[in-house]
Amino acid sequence: MSDKPPEPDDLRELGERLEEVRRREAAKAPKQASVAPLSVAFRFTTELVAALVVGGALGWGMDWLFGTRPIFMVIMFMLGAAAGIRNVMRAATEMNERAAKAAKDNKD
């Protein structure tokens, strides 16, 4: 190493070369488009279970409030199941659109 401190022009040139290398490396690296299967399964499970729990709880509350047999609980549980399935389908469509967009962006 030399005893003299680096000149500002030398530092600027080094910074420019580093930026150029970073840009080239970023262009080479493929963008991550896939989602981990465990995260997809966790999201679908959460969507479905949450809708079932909310539907069942609302039905139980209505049965308790009106003093009826578990008719509202059964009805609301079924509606919760339908809502949960709808939410899972919506989430799957959203994930597919995101993956298709990412694949298109990687292709271009």
For 55-80, the pLDDT digits (tens) are 999 999 999 999 999 999 999 999 99
Q: What pTM was estimated for this model as a whole? A: 0.64
Burial class of residue 41 in the structure, from the number of CB atoms within 10 Å of its CB (0-12 exposed, 13-18 middle, 19+ buried): exposed
Percent of the residues in the chain that have a pLDDT greater than 90, as a whole number: 56
Banded pLDDT at 35 (limits 50, 70, 90): confident
